Structure formats: structure tokens, C-alpha cells
């Protein structure tokens, strides 16, 4: 019955959403919970944000501000991105589903392309290298997230019981590789060297 100014604006909403995503996962993010955390009706959010999907875009873009500025070495940036996505899995899943075309993301891409050109790449090579490194980082983060909590056996009907020892070995081997940050760094190096300024 009040309807008085609640100091609501886009940044406040995005910050609240980010906290909820970190605490309760991607499925825990609902307009109603965000509004409750701000002491406001769910409908109040719609005056500042276009809807849940747009809110998620803003959350993803905002989360990128936690990463270090790109200077010359792209490796540092992607290692930091990888660490962040592993630590905040909901963000990785959100990035997998959303376009990633916010202002922060675009600015980072511009800086990355400029850095690559400075080191001798032409426009195409720079774009290819950046896209490859980003794709690999996202995929490696998602794969690692899904492998980290090694699941109980027998959850999947249809796996022959007598094959499970072998299945277990395969899973353990792959999980070990997925959590190996040395491997991650080596692949980044490989991708950086893969498109040489011939």
C-alpha cells in the first residue's frame, strides 16, 4: 500500500542477482527472490530491467569486471577467467546460454584483439586466436565443473554392472585431467602459438 521510492536501480538489482546466483546457483535465480532480497515486489524490477533473460545478460557482463585488465599476456586473463568460472559455476552455465555481448565483454574483446595485433597478428589471426582461447576456456571450465563432484555409481540405468570397474577407471582418469591446471595452461600456450604470424 506504500509505493514509495525504494532507491531501486539497475545496478542494485544486478548486484542482488549476482549474490543470489553465487549462493543458490542458476536455478536459484528468480525474479521473486531478487525482489525479496531488495524488500520490494517482483513487479518493481520490471521498471528497471526488461525481464529475467536480460537480467541474466547483465549479471554475466557485470561479473566480468572482477577479472584483471588485459595488458599484453592473454594467458593471465584466461587463467583468471577459468578460475572464476570454476569457482562460480552458475556464471559458466549462464555464459553457455547467453550471448555475451555486454559492454564489459565487448571492451575486453577489444583490448584482447589490440594486444594480439601488437604482438604481430593480423586482424583475422587475432580474431581466430581470441575466439579459440575463449572457447577453450569456457569449455574446459564447464567440463571441469561437471567432473569435479565424482558421482556415485549405478545412477545410470543401462550400464552393465560388470563393466563398472572399467567405467570407473575411465571416469577417474578424465576427472584428473579435467582438474589439471598445468594442462589448461599448456593448451592456452598451444593456441597462442598455433596461429603464428607467418
Partner DNA sequence: ACCTGAACACCGTTCAAGT
**Cα(110)–Cα(116) distance, rounded to whole angstroms?**
10
In this chain, which of 9, 72, 73, 180 binds a second copy, going by CB under 8 A?
180
Which of residues 5 and 69 has its CB atom nearest to DNA in the complex? Answer: 5
**Cα(86)–Cα(138) distance, rounded to whole angstroms?**
10
In this chain, which of 2, 7, 157, 161 binds a second copy, going by CB under 8 A?
157
69 forms part of the interface with DNA (CB under 7 A): no
Please identify which residue in the block is written with the cell numbers 531478487: 34
In this chain, which of 9, 47, 170, 181 binds a second copy, going by CB under 8 A?
170
Which of residues 39 and 160 has its CB atom nearest to a second copy in the complex? Answer: 160
Q: How many CA atoms lie within 13 A of 19 on its CB side?
A: 11
Which of residues 87 and 131 has its CB atom nearest to a second copy in the complex? Answer: 131
In this chain, which of 32, 163, 168, 169 binds DNA, going by CB under 7 A?
32
46 forms part of the interface with DNA (CB under 7 A): yes
Q: Shortest CA distance to 128 belongs to which of 140, 141, 114, 113?
A: 113
- Applying CB under 7 A, the site for DNA has a residue count of 25
Element (H, E) at 78: helix 74-87
Phi and psi torsions of 159, nearest 5°? -85, 125
**DSSP string covering 28-52:** G--HHHHHHHTTS-GGGGGGTSS-H
Interface residues toward a second copy, by CB under 8 A:
10, 26, 54, 57, 61, 92-93, 95-103, 106, 109-110, 113, 123-124, 127-128, 130-132, 134-140, 142-143, 146-147, 151, 155-159, 166-167, 170-171, 173-174, 176-178, 180, 183, 186-187, 190-191, 194-195
Amino acid at each position: 500500500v506504500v509505493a514509495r521510492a525504494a532507491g531501486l536501480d539497475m545496478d542494485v538489482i544486478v548486484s542482488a542477482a549476482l549474490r543470489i546466483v553465487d549462493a543458490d546457483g542458476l536455478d536459484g535465480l528468480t525474479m521473486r527472490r531478487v525482489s525479496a532480497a531488495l524488500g520490494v515486489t517482483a513487479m518493481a524490477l520490471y521498471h528497471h530491467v526488461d525481464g529475467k533473460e536480460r537480467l541474466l545478460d547483465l549479471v554475466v557482463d557485470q561479473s566480468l569486471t572482477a577479472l584483471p585488465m588485459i595488458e599484453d599476456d592473454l594467458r593471465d586473463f584466461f587463467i583468471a577467467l577459468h578460475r572464476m568460472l570454476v569457482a562460480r559455476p552458475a556464471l559458466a552455465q549462464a555464459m553457455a546460454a547467453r550471448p555475451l555481448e555486454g559492454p564489459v565483454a565487448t571492451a575486453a574483446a577489444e583490448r584482447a584483439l589490440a594486444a594480439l595485433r601488437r604482438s604481430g597478428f593480423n586482424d583475422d589471426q587475432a580474431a581466430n586466436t581470441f575466439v579459440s582461447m575463449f572457447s577453450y576456456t569456457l569449455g574446459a571450465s564447464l567440463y571441469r565443473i561437471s567432473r569435479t563432484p565424482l558421482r556415485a555409481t549405478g545412477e545410470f540405468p543401462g550400464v552393465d554392472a560388470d563393466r563398472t570397474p572399467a567405467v570407473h577407471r575411465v571416469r577417474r582418469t578424465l576427472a584428473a585431467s579435467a582438474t589439471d591446471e598445468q594442462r589448461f595452461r599448456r593448451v592456452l600456450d598451444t593456441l597462442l602459438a598455433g596461429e603464428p604470424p607467418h
